[in-house]
Amino acid sequence: MTYQDDNIFAKILRGEIPSHKLYEDADTFAFMDIMPRGDGHCLVIPKKPSRNILDVEEDSLAAVARTTQKLARAVLRAFSADGVTVQQFNEPAGGQVVFHLHFHIIPRFEGVPLRPHTGEMEKPEILAANAEKIKAALAAS
**Identified catalytic residue from 100, 102, 104, 117:** 102
Tell me which residue of 105, 111, 117 sits closest to 78, measured CA to CA.
Answer: 105
**What Cα–Cα distance (Å) separates residue 50 from each residue in 2, 53, 76?**
8, 8, 28
Task: Describe the chain by its helix, strand, coil percentages, rounded to 5.
Answer: 35, 20, 50
Q: Is 102 annotated as catalytic?
A: yes
Catalytic positions are 102
